[in-house]
Structure 1
Amino acid sequence: MKLINKSMLTAIIALSTASVYYAQEVKDTASKSKDIEEVILKGVTDIAKDRKTPVAVSTIKAAQILERQGNQELVELLNTTPSIYATKGGGGFGDSQLSIRGFESKNVAVMVNGMPVNDMETGAVYYSNWTGLSDVTSFLQVQRGLGSSKLAIASVGGTMNFITKSADMKKGGVVRLGVGNNDFLKTSFAYNTGKSENGWSSSFLMARQSGATYIENTNYEAYTYFFALGYQPSAKHNLQFMITSSPQWHDQRSYAPSIANYIKYNPDHDNTPYRRYNSDFGYYTDASGNRVALANAMNYYAKPVMMLNWDWTISDKSTLSTVAYMSNGRGGGARNLGGIAGKGMSTFYDNDGHYNYDQIFAANAAINPNTAAATSTLVRTSSINSHNWYGVLMNFQHKINDNWNFSVGTDDRYYYGYHYQVLSDLYGASGYKDNTNKNAPNRVVNNIYDYKKLSWNPFGGSLAPMDQRLAFSNDGEVLWYSGFGQVEYSNDKLSAFLQGSVSNQSYQRIDDFVLPGSPQQGQIIDRKTGFKDLLGYNIKGGANYNLNENNNVFANIGYYSKQPLMSAVYPSNQQVVNPNLTNEKIFSAELGYGFKTNNFNTKLNLYRTEWKDRFYRRGNIPNIDGNGNTGYSEVSGITQLHQGVELEANYRLNKFIEFNGMFSWGDYQYKGNATGANFLDDNTPVAINGNNASTLYLDKVKVGGSNNNSIPQTTASLGTTISPLKGLKVYGGWQYTGKIYSTLNVAEFLKPGNESLKLPDFNLFNVGASYKISLNNPNQYFTLGANVYNLLDTTFIQDGATNIKTTDTITANNDPDKGKTYEQAGRTYKGIADGNRVFFGFGRTWSATLSFNF
């Protein structure tokens, strides 16, 4: 990005105090650089600036998103950024996963226009809630490491900030049509009124997307709406209102099949993995004799974000920015419940590896739930995860003189989450008898909530009545209030800052399925736990020095005392506060160097982050007790060390050809040992060596994922863009991913000497092109685009869910190789045991777009 000149500094505070909510693109006419247009911002969000802000940063503009995303996940565009790994997760629409410098999304601060969107209970980010951002984003900025944000946010790995379009964009509109593999169809329309003479402006967008992904039975339908209204009554005041949402439903693949099953259920029977294979659906025969697909895993959600921003220029030296926001979400995902004669879903697979619903329907129909024991029918539920979220951000900035300025502010939030289950399919049963609600035991429930027809109104009720809830019903209430301050110094060569913040996070757990006055873990419990206050803080600083017009160096250092997530405060879903509760401690330091000319730009970063007293919970673990039951693991006392080197460069050979590339090398490992405990889904402890808790020997083990995903420690990319004709761009790129470590499996580390499973390295190639057809009116033009992803149709494992070694013994009773090691049985695939559960990446896919701007 370009240097910000002195006149711009009168509108924004130097070094990382610029912010968002209203944006207007302008060209720096004094520079001959071909960089992307600078963005002038006001408000409360910290946007890093090249050769000023001392952090590692990468920015993706809207044009690149529109050209290259197609039917990819939005975050996949970041795979050409150092130390970032984005995958499609299970492969369902919006089910992508992301890590930065080896830290997963729950430890990456994700923001929309500076508003934090990480779940306030779990820290998770569900990208299916934000698929519409690709249509309304002006640019996406990623700051790796602690970043420049003044807020007390959990940016252990980095910060992602999606900056949306503003109301006062240039007058005009655009119509787009996109098509692609597996019936992908996307249509959108957007229009901006421009600013009127009396200061009013507006912008809106509507879009629809549908089809399926590369994976079997992953149909989806999604909508996007966006509306922004601006009013600038005078030079001192600017008001911006914005609302956007992406309501959607999609069928999923949530369970990672074993490599052996990918091969076994390949319809071509050629001893190769069938990458499209999905074990989370099956077929039934309808009244007309047709074979109909039915999903066992699905997700549906609507999470609108509404913001009102007020920028007040108090004087030439002082500004106050205030943002009030609301984000209410409604929706959930699927789970199975109950069993038939003790049999769960996995006992009803057909010869193709899919569920035989005709058998399930017939078995369920023969059971009278009124007279049978509880949980005697097998059903599908929706696990509701709805919430109401309100917040306010305020930032006062004052320019002391040409060099010094300071800012102070507050970030306050209130969150209430609703968690329970309702029936979404009876699978032919007449009802389901539930015995989990201690206040109303053994009641039969038969109301069905269709996930494709549920009301997603986030402003109304749309919450199921208590008598229709089953398995669990608990709420989480979170209060957050914080203050922050920052002092900055800037001259022509040096920029430096010192920032600090303090926050109080209060958690309360509310359980409607407990008997008040009953004991839990030796304590008498109530429906409400009362609030548990947790104090956190951070302090960080950094400096950038421009050695000359081409070279700059920077450094930053910071320390966080981060409050644990709600699962650590109330472990094993109990109403009792963790007696060993402690804050997580993060220390990070970074050095950087940059070199920039008119046609060449390169950046080099060295970083080291140590994370102590980490707690994490891994859920949905199959056969956790050896008896076929699913459950979860909780691990405490983890220390991780992440360090590495990052290099990125861009070279413009001439007006026709441009090259870009990156390389990142990391060393992510655990320090010392930790403590693990296993539980069934109903919170029953699972014995580990005769006890529920056991030492986990993790010292020097490479860091893997925590939820069916993997962490790579080496990535690289090289790409080129060729512009042979006016309006035509042809681009291609190579991506390399190596030193990939699978999900940590608690059971594998009960003795010293084990290591995380290392997955095979892989290389991918993507290509694309776009052509702009200009009309007589310069504001009117057509744009054609096409992309092919994984051009060579490479077969690769993107994520791993287990840690089975080739020297491990096959233990399944129905396996003919029981008693042999995978190596002895010849059961390996690219050097790893075929019993490992993984997600293969997509094969070759494509998309094409046509748009008309006017």
Structure 2
Amino acid sequence: MKRKSLNPFGRVLLLCVLLLSGQMTAAIASSQKSTINHSTGSPGPQNGAGSNLQNPAGAPEKGQPGRPDSLHLNLEEIILQANFVTDRQSPLRVATVDQKSIGKKAIGYTYPELIKNMPGIYATSESGSYGDARINIRGFKQENISVLLNGIPISGLVTGNMFWNNWLGLSDATHSIQVQKGIGASMLSDNSVGGTINIITQSTQAKPSTSMGMYITDYGQYKSHLSVNSGQTANGWAFSAMGSYAWGNGYPQSTGVNSWAYMVNISKKINNQHSLLFTALGSPERHKQRSSRLTEAEINQYGLAYNKNWGYHNGKERNLSENFYHKPYLTLHHFYKPSPKRELATAIYLSVGHGGGKWSESKGKRIIDFRAEGLVDWDAAEQANITAGASAQNIVTDYLAGHTQAGFKSNYSRKMASWTFNAGLHYQYYSTWEKEKITDLLGAEYWYEEYATKSLAGLAGRNPYKGIGDMVRTYNGKLINHLSLYTSAQYNSAGWDIRLGASAMGSTNQRWDRYNYIGDVYSKTATGSGMSIKGGVSRKLTRALSVYANAAIYSRIPYSDIYFSSGNNNITQGVKNENNLLAEAGVRYLFDRGSVELTLYHALWKNKSIMSNPYKQLDESNNRYLVRGLDAVHSGIEITGNYTPVRGLSLEGFAGLGDWKWKNDVTANIYDPYSSLLIQQIHVYSKGLPVGDAPQLQLSLSATANPVRNLELFADWNFYDQMYADFNPSDRQDINDRSPSYRIPSYSLINGGISWSPQPRGRKTSTVVYARIGNILNTRYIERGRDGASHTIESFSGFWGSPRSISLGIRLSFQ
């Protein structure tokens, strides 16, 4: 059960080798100054992470000469079209992580974990598997958080979820990440109830540059990357490319990873009015997972790294859960600027994703229930299969899934005196498919697929005897068309910032199913329409003091899974839009050495629908459910501040307190996982229960110090409390049980790090060596979990956080 990794001496030796090779490479690059042009400054803002209240996006003031972003071709246009908030007078609650902070803290972390040091945000690695992260903003889960990549929505249209492992390797090509809480600035963020996450990738640069780096962790995970920029040629072309590779072990047992990432940018300045930017990016990956939640008894017996999903089969490690996927993403931007006051920005994009995960099917005792010393006893499961006869009782499969996502986005902008007007549209086509393929019969001769009882069509002349490579259980998909139209206006003066916007959207949803239907496999079309109205105002009272307020009304179209909640082609009756009323007000105060910002927010969430994961393999309860008509209120207060007491030392801190509760009792439909027939309808007694899955109280302090030139030390302390476990609606059928879910114990974490740049600033080459220690005090804590019948730790199951970890890295660049 032990993982192999470098011992401390080996890790230090490897780092020394990396540092030495980096210095040699830098020296060689420096000697080639006749062929390498120098580009001064860093390509991104350097103000560090956090609220950055004086300038939320870390960008220089308007009109400031020599701004760093001028080195990037088309980056300013991308930022503008992505509704990246750069004005300190913005009526929105924003926080930004810049390129420098990403470089220091992205070692082994997903995008959500890079933005977690902000009030109201709770981001964790959850299971500890590579890239399997989750994020909540102000108590809202991922399906209520809009994610934009260079201004284009990338959240899924089926469930609204994000699979962060598909994008994990791209952190080395990220320019900045901005969180806009609440309504968000983009008119395309249809699901921005909790907030909007705006990711801006790096673009081509005006001058040539090259960078490379590598990091290692104490648990045996490695990553290396290389990026190259050609600079702009005399005829207006520019090229940039980034590649990275991550491999090795995760902290939990049997969670190894093998992941590539790439990004290519090609830009062409046609003339002073027209320019093009083509981007291709992706992150093909394969990683083993820890999918099953754990109990306290299991953690006490087997330790924090315990993973119950794996064991040995014929002497070799084998995991029940493994993910593999590749989602290449292609975009082509056209920028047309006939005058300084008019611009038309258009983008087309295409993504064709393909992959899946390890799965299993069972007709009796499941594979995971064959245990030996805490591990899956694969040999015993195989022997039971053989003993049972020719027909398999257990099989191993690949659950395969893919999609085609294509779209068109266009925005026209017109400036008139102090006003800026925008209008545009976004169309997206989304086609999905899912199927399950047998990969191992575990010693049996065949698997008998019970079409007669599991398929709505019955046997229908199909061969029920299945072998390796045959499809079982499911073969279906969805066809979705989504269109958004919007218009907005912004007034900006020395003392006022006023923003108004409205959008209308419509969708068509159709499902096909070749497992439950023969002949006509397509459903009827479900249609929906929605709208949003949002606005905000910021008033600068003095040079130091400003106040702001914003509000929005959303009528959001249900996700496609809600229309087909049963799992067959029957359209769910009575599906209604979710309605959201959001409001926020705040005050900002700036002083010579820092700033303070206070925000109050209130969100009324009506007619919420919750759809369970339709396909489960490892949990005891395999039935799927749909809950409709839930109402909730999320209110809270957030305060953020930063202070620079002396030169070379900056302090930041925040506090967030929420009051998030479900407001009513509802009913839920329970469906059979195979036939998708309605089994029963149950009452869910949820009125007055706290919304779980995220802490309602957060405190944080962080410090960054530069004791000597080129040396930086940083540390942060985060405290979490008032966090309740998530609950299964089917466990809330007792009208007399109004007890809150299990309250997860409060915990605090201290993280820290150091970065050192051996070369003085201004050189044409630079090397940065950095180290990061997570959970310095080795605190034992619970990140997330599911409530049980008794609402205590005895019936709770979930994921415990990782212990102390050390990461070392080196990054070198030359221009």
Q: Relative to structure 2, which stretch is displaced further, 767-776 or 574-583?
A: 767-776
1:679 — aligned with what?
671
Residues 250/425 of structure 1: CA separation in 2 closer, same or farther (3 Å cut): farther
Kindly indicate whether residue 313 of structure 2 is the aligned counterpart of residue 328 of structure 1.
no
- CA–CA separation in structure 2 for the residues paired with 1:315 and 1:37: 22
Which of 583, 589, 614 is the aligned partner of 2:577? 583
1:363 positional shift: 2.2
Which of 295, 299, 308 is the aligned partner of 2:319? 295
Q: Taking every aligned residue pair, what percent have the same amino acid on both sides?
A: 26
- CA–CA separation in structure 2 for the residues paired with 1:749 and 1:776: 61
1:199 positional shift: 1.3
Residues 659/37 of structure 1: CA separation in 2 closer, same or farther (3 Å cut): farther
- CA–CA separation in structure 1 for the residues paired with 2:740 and 2:408: 45
CA contact (8 A) 1:33 1:598 kept: no
Give the unaligned 5+ runs of structure 1: 1-22, 267-273, 286-290, 449-467, 518-525, 705-709, 807-831
Kindly indicate whether residue 367 of structure 2 is the aligned counterpart of residue 349 of structure 1.
no
- CA–CA separation in structure 2 for the residues paired with 1:186 and 1:501: 42
2:486 — aligned with what?
484
SS in 2 for 1:146: coil
2:85 — aligned with what?
48
Residues 509/156 of structure 1: CA separation in 2 closer, same or farther (3 Å cut): same
Residues 440/137 of structure 1: CA separation in 2 closer, same or farther (3 Å cut): farther
1:258 positional shift: 1.7
SS in 2 for 1:106: helix
CA contact (8 A) 1:82 1:662 kept: yes
Residues 25/597 of structure 1: CA separation in 2 closer, same or farther (3 Å cut): closer
Kindly indicate whether residue 774 of structure 2 is the aligned counterpart of residue 792 of structure 1.
no
Q: How does 1:188-207 map to 2 (within 5 A)?
A: 188-207=225-244
Residues 514/681 of structure 1: CA separation in 2 closer, same or farther (3 Å cut): closer
CA contact (8 A) 2:308 2:375 kept: yes
Residues 24/60 of structure 1: CA separation in 2 closer, same or farther (3 Å cut): closer
SS in 2 for 1:503: strand
SS in 2 for 1:63: helix
1:849 — aligned with what?
809
Residues 499/25 of structure 1: CA separation in 2 closer, same or farther (3 Å cut): closer
2:755 — aligned with what?
770
Q: Relative to structure 2, which stretch is displaced further, 129-138 or 166-175?
A: 166-175
Residues 676/104 of structure 1: CA separation in 2 closer, same or farther (3 Å cut): same
Kindly indicate whether residue 742 of structure 2 is the aligned counterpart of residue 757 of structure 1.
yes
SS in 1 for 2:647: coil
Q: How does 1:230-245 map to 2 (within 5 A)?
A: 230-245=267-282
- CA–CA separation in structure 1 for the residues paired with 2:388 and 2:320: 21
Aligned residues: 747
Q: How does 1:727-746 map to 2 (within 5 A)?
A: 727-746=710-729
Residues 643/487 of structure 1: CA separation in 2 closer, same or farther (3 Å cut): same
- CA–CA separation in structure 2 for the residues paired with 1:621 and 1:259: 26
2:683 — aligned with what?
695
CA contact (8 A) 1:133 1:162 kept: no
2:313 — aligned with what?
284
Kindly indicate whether residue 459 of structure 2 is the aligned counterpart of residue 428 of structure 1.
no
- CA–CA separation in structure 1 for the residues paired with 2:316 and 2:111: 31
CA contact (8 A) 2:292 2:618 kept: no
- CA–CA separation in structure 1 for the residues paired with 2:156 and 2:318: 30
CA offsets per residue over residues 503-550 of structure 1, 9 Å max, x none? Answer: 111110100112358xxxxxxxx4111321101110111111111221
1:384 — aligned with what?
400
1:51 positional shift: 2.4
Which of 658, 661, 664 is the aligned partner of 1:669? 661
Residues 702/170 of structure 1: CA separation in 2 closer, same or farther (3 Å cut): farther
Q: How does 1:460-539 map to 2 (within 5 A)?
A: 468-516=470-518, 526-539=520-533
1:426 positional shift: 3.0
1:19 — aligned with what?
none
Which of 455, 459, 467 is the aligned partner of 1:446? 467
1:829 — aligned with what?
none
Give the AA of the match of 2:243. M
2:705 — aligned with what?
722
Q: How does 1:634-645 map to 2 (within 5 A)?
A: 634-645=626-637
- CA–CA separation in structure 1 for the residues paired with 2:808 and 2:61: 30
CA contact (8 A) 2:552 2:583 kept: yes
Give the AA of the match of 1:425. D
Residues 259/622 of structure 1: CA separation in 2 closer, same or farther (3 Å cut): farther
1:145 positional shift: 0.4
1:321 positional shift: 0.4
- CA–CA separation in structure 1 for the residues paired with 2:67 and 2:201: 25
Which of 381, 405, 418 is the aligned partner of 2:433? 418
Q: How does 1:495-644 map to 2 (within 5 A)?
A: 495-516=497-518, 526-619=520-613, 630-644=622-636
- CA–CA separation in structure 2 for the residues paired with 1:777 and 1:145: 41
Which of 379, 386, 393 is the aligned partner of 1:365? 386
2:125 — aligned with what?
88
Q: How does 1:29-428 map to 2 (within 5 A)?
A: 40-42=76-78, 44-151=81-188, 153-168=190-205, 170-264=207-301, 266=302, 274-285=303-314, 291-339=315-363, 342-350=364-372, 352-367=373-388, 369=390, 372=391, 376-400=392-416, 402-428=417-443
Residues 189/31 of structure 1: CA separation in 2 closer, same or farther (3 Å cut): closer
- CA–CA separation in structure 2 for the residues paired with 1:334 and 1:575: 26
- CA–CA separation in structure 1 for the residues paired with 2:721 and 2:542: 37
- CA–CA separation in structure 1 for the residues paired with 2:560 and 2:621: 25
1:833 — aligned with what?
793
Residues 305/572 of structure 1: CA separation in 2 closer, same or farther (3 Å cut): same
SS in 1 for 2:573: coil
- CA–CA separation in structure 1 for the residues paired with 2:765 and 2:240: 18
Give the AA of the match of 2:352. N
CA offsets per residue over residues 83-139 of structure 1, 9 Å max, x none? Answer: 000011211100010000111111100111111111111111000111022111100
1:68 positional shift: 1.6
1:775 positional shift: 6.3
1:624 positional shift: 12
Give the AA of the match of 1:732. A
Q: Relative to structure 2, which stretch is displaced further, 30-39 or 62-71?
A: 30-39
CA offsets per residue over residues 308-357 of structure 1, 9 Å max, x none? Answer: 00110022321100010111111112322023xx211243111x211111
1:57 positional shift: 0.4
CA offsets per residue over residues 629-665 of structure 1, 9 Å max, x none? Answer: 5222221111111110111111112222110111111
- CA–CA separation in structure 1 for the residues paired with 2:442 and 2:780: 35
Residues 315/30 of structure 1: CA separation in 2 closer, same or farther (3 Å cut): closer
2:650 — aligned with what?
658
Give the AA of the match of 1:543. V
TM-score (norm 2): 0.88
- CA–CA separation in structure 2 for the residues paired with 1:729 and 1:406: 43
TM-score (norm 1): 0.84
CA contact (8 A) 2:710 2:760 kept: no
SS in 2 for 1:361: helix
CA contact (8 A) 2:775 2:803 kept: yes
2:38 — aligned with what?
none
1:602 positional shift: 1.9
1:469 positional shift: 1.9
CA offsets per residue over residues 17-47 of structure 1, 9 Å max, x none? Answer: xxxxxx9987878599999999844552111
